[in-house]
Amino acid sequence: MLIEFICNGKETRVDVPAEMRALDLIRNELLLTGTKCGCSKGECGSCTILVDGDPVCSCLLLAPKLQGKEITTIEYLERTNGELHPIQQAFIEEGAVQCGFCTPGMILSTKALLKKNSAPTVIEIEEGLSGNICRCTGYTKIIKAVQSAALKLQGAEK
């Protein structure tokens, strides 16, 4: 099935079986392996991508659902000059990355959250990240990283 969509700012056309999951399309066909596969059940959030700006689990999405959509994977956050995105910087500075398996999903959920709510409370951060599980860093540092990212982004706007 021919599917056309915008992936990380680029017009993309692929011909894939209709039963292919968006996750497999992204990792195996587009070779964007920053998107991870943890559970394949919508529970861990490591496969999170943004579709038209909203976080979704790419393991529960069939590829045809990308038709006409604009998607963002973790690879698109790095600036063209090679600098990291402020959210990525905040995660590093706060030590919010250990094995890193959850990190792409955490960062994309953070991006969507901060776009809607530029100064979230701790509870709002917990809600915003409730679809992402981290099994090693623990959540304290991740929440701190989101708070710090919020400040960086607010600063950048001024």
Partner 1 sequence: MQYFLPATLKELLLVLDSESKSEIIAGGTDLIIIMEGSGERPEKLIDITNIEELIGIKEEEYGISIGAATTIAKIAANSSLPCCLRSGANSIGSPQIRNVGTVGGNICNASPCGDTLTPLICLNATLLLRSVNSQRLISVEQFFLGPKKTVLKKNEVLSEIRINKEYLSGASGFRMIGQRNGQVISQVNLAVWLQRSKESGLIEEIRIAAGSVAPTPVRIIEAEEMLCNTSPEPELIHRAALLVQASITPIDDVRSTAQYRQDVIIGLFGDIMTQLLKEPQSC
Ligand X SMILES: Cc1cc2nc3c(=O)[nH]c(=O)nc-3n(C[C@H](O)[C@H](O)[C@H](O)COP(=O)(O)OP(=O)(O)OC[C@H]3O[C@@H](n4cnc5c(N)ncnc54)[C@H](O)[C@@H]3O)c2cc1C
CB-nearer residue toward ligand X: 42 or 68? 42
With binding defined as CB under 8 A, does residue 19 bind partner 1?
Answer: yes
Spell out, one character per residue from 46 to 65, where the chain touches ligand X: x when CB under 6 A holds, - when not: --------------------
- Quick one: tokens of 134? 């981290």
CB-nearer residue toward ligand FES: 84 or 119? 84
Q: How many CB atoms lie within 10 A of CB 139?
A: 17
Strand ranges across the sheet with 10-15: 10-15, 2-7, 70-72, 48-51, 54-57
Binds partner 1 (CB under 8 A): choice among 42, 92, 118, 154: 42
Q: Residue 88 touches which of partner 1, ligand X, ligand FES, none (CB < 5 to 8 A by kind)?
A: none
- Cβ-in-10-Å burial (0-12, 13-18, 19+) of 111 comes to buried
Nearest-approach distance from CB 85 to ligand FES, in angstroms: 18
Q: Are 117 and 77 in contact (CB under 8 A)?
A: no
**Which ranges constitute the DSSP H helices of 4-138?**
22-24, 86-93, 103-116, 122-128
Q: Residue 1 touches which of partner 1, ligand X, ligand FES, none (CB < 5 to 8 A by kind)?
A: partner 1
Q: Are 86 and 149 in contact (CB under 8 A)?
A: yes
With binding defined as CB under 8 A, does residue 18 bind partner 1?
Answer: yes
| β-bridge mates for residue 85, sequence order | none
With binding defined as CB under 6 A, does residue 43 bind ligand X?
Answer: yes
Which SS3 state, helix, strand or coil, does residue 156 take?
helix
Q: Which residues bind partner 1 (CB under 8 A)?
A: 1, 17-19, 21, 40-43, 45, 48, 51, 54-57, 59-62, 64-65, 67, 109, 112, 126-128, 130-132
